[in-house]
A and B are shown apart, each in its own frame.
Chain A
Amino acid sequence: EAGVAQSPRYKIIEKRQSVAFWCNPISGHATLYWYQQILGQGPKLLIQFQNNGVVDDSQLPKDRFSAERLKGVDSTLKIQPAKLEDSAVYLCASSFDSGSFNEQFFGPGTRLTVL
């Protein structure tokens, strides 16, 4: 079974530039998550999709971050404009559905450095 795919793996940008990350979840997984992991901290949920609808985006900085999941499969996360404090690893995860007992499967992450 193929895992969660993410690209790019690494990205370096200047502050105020824009950047986009892509995620392809495990086939058949209805729920997709984007997490932000700042160095020295645990991952923090940014947004959760159930199919192509948003379930939770309470911690997404909506003035600069946006995400979409067209057709309920792939997803993109965009930052525009980026700030220095956005430097982090962005993890995508998926689960079969949003049920309480389903573990989440994580991709390798995209390491973003904002200069």
Chain B
Amino acid sequence: AQSVAQPEDQVNVAEGNPLTVKCTYSVSGNPYLFWYVQYPNRGLQFLLKYITGDNLVKGSYGFEAEFNKSQTSFHLKKPSALVSDSALYFCAVRDGGSGNKLVFGAGTILRVKS
């Protein structure tokens, strides 16, 4: 079965510093990977996805993610964090079964302090 792991429950970073939110995956076949963000009392918002091609994927709000096949990782990054980036971040992998089912990690809380 497909799965993702987010090893950090929380990441703290100072405003203006680079941030990284980690994700590792386990799949059979080609990995289709996604990052979503969830703000308080709101639904999940799509940030970016990796399907194939360039290992560095650019997404919304200045976020990018680096796909690393050898390390089975898909870490989310941003060069300069903003206080408004503080939220809950989910990594997800598409299950290769029927449909477009997403399997989510447990989430990582990002706190950016001014």
Contacts and interface: CB of A to CB of B under 8 A. Distances in A.
Nearest to B48: A103
Given A56-B99, A91-B44, A95-B100, A100 B51 contact: yes
B46 to A, nearest CB: 4
B90 interface: yes
A56 B97 contact: yes
Contact of A44 (B44, B46, B104): B104
Given A42-B104, A44-B104, A4 B90 contact: no
Interface in A44-82: 44-45, 48, 50, 55-56
B57 interface: no
Interface in B93-114: 94, 97-102, 104-107
Contact of B43 (A41, A91, A98, A101): A91
A24 interface: no
A113 interface: no
Interface size class of A (residues with CB under 8 A): 20 to 34
Nearest to A95: B100
B42 A108 contact: yes
A48 B43 CA distance: 17
A98 B99 contact: yes
B105 A42 contact: yes
A41 B38 CA distance: 12
Interface of B: 32, 34, 36, 41-46, 49, 51, 90, 92, 94, 97-102, 104-107
Give me the 3 closest cross-chain CB pairs, A-B, nearest first: A42-B104, A106-B43, A106-B44
